Every structure is written in C-alpha cells, then in structure tokens.
Amino acid sequence: MVAWATFKESEKCYGLDYRVNFVGLGYDGAAVMSGALSGVARRIQEVAPSVVYMHCYAHRLNLVIVDACKTVKEAANFFELLHQLYVCVSGSNFHQRWLQTQIDMFPEEQPRELKRLSDTRWACRAAACVVVKTRLQAFLRLLRPGSCITTPCSVTSLKMTMQSVLLKPHVSLLKWISSLLHDFY
C-alpha cells in the first residue's frame, strides 16, 4: 500500500515514532487513509491503539461549503458558469485567444489562468472567483458578438450567460465571495 509506505518513510525521515508521539490523526475521508480494513488509520491503530482517527475538520468544512453552494440556486448557477468558462478557456484555440486578450487589455500584468473547479478543494473555486473578478472585462470582450471563436463548448450559450451575469445576482455573489477571500489572495 503506497500511502502506508509513504507514511513509514516520513516517520523515518523526520525521526517520529507514531507509537509514542501521535495522539490523534486527521485525514480527509479517502478510504486509503481512513479505511476500516486497510487504511493508514487502521494500520496505525493496530500498533498504537490509543491513537484516535478523526475526519479532518478543515476538509469537513470544505465539504459543507461546497454542498451549501450546490443547494443555493444562485451559487450553483454561478459555479456552473465558472465551470463552463473553464471548459471554454482550456480549449487550445480559445486558450490562446484568452491569453492574448489579457495581454492586450492588461499589458503590465501576467495573464491569469482559470483553474478547474474541484469539490474537494475550495481554494480552486476561490481562485476562479478572483480570476473572473479581475478579468471580467476580458471574458466579456472575448465572448462579445462577432468574436468568431470556435471552441468545444456552446459559445452562444456561454456568451448569453456571461452577458446576463452583469444583470443577475452573480456579480453581488462574486463581490461577496471576493470580500471574504480578500485577505487570502
């Protein structure tokens, strides 16, 4: 088992003895770490029964935030829009135009990449919000009528969604999320 071997190697490298030094361990809910039969937590508890496993609270909080955003219609729509944007800007033809549009509009700054959204890492959603907030005008220019972009995504649908984003609560949501994350980015 790779995770167990990595754990044992780290123990040697840092001079730790988990039988003596560990009181509790926190992981995400992945079976390789928390599995009742052969997870790392189980293997540690076989040798050191006093070690307590708990699901990492930061990971739990991340899961709560992601689930909450899925249940609020405006938030779910907003993050679906971010996902659609990612799909479009990651296409090779569109990606080059995306970078060039940023270079043209923001010549003093490095182009920014839109990261793929993940349910297990809220930070990628936060980073995507920052990119959209700081590059909204570049997205709109790229998707304006007559921009003759060919991508694997539905450009017409995405253009309409992006143009309507200015009229809907998405901008307020983006500003609110950005204000919460201001100290982190």
Kindly state the percentage of the chain with pLDDT values over 90: 8
What confidence category does residue 180 fall into, taking pLDDT thresholds of 50, 70 and 90? low
What confidence category does residue 161 fall into, taking pLDDT thresholds of 50, 70 and 90? low
Say yes or no to pLDDT of 149 above 60.
no
What confidence category does residue 157 fall into, taking pLDDT thresholds of 50, 70 and 90? low
Q: Mean pLDDT, the chain, as a whole number?
A: 76
For 87-132, write each residue's pLDDT tens digit.
Answer: 878 876 778 888 999 999 999 999 999 888 887 777 788 888 888 8
φ, ψ of residue 52 in degrees (nearest 5): -100, 130
Question: Residue ranges per domain, the chain?
Answer: 2-55, 60-181
Say yes or no to pLDDT of 58 above 70.
yes
- Residue pointed to by tokens 């790779």: 2
Burial 128-148 (b: 16+ CB within 10 A, else e): bbbbbeebeebbeebbeeeee
What confidence category does residue 154 fall into, taking pLDDT thresholds of 50, 70 and 90? low
What confidence category does residue 164 fall into, taking pLDDT thresholds of 50, 70 and 90? low
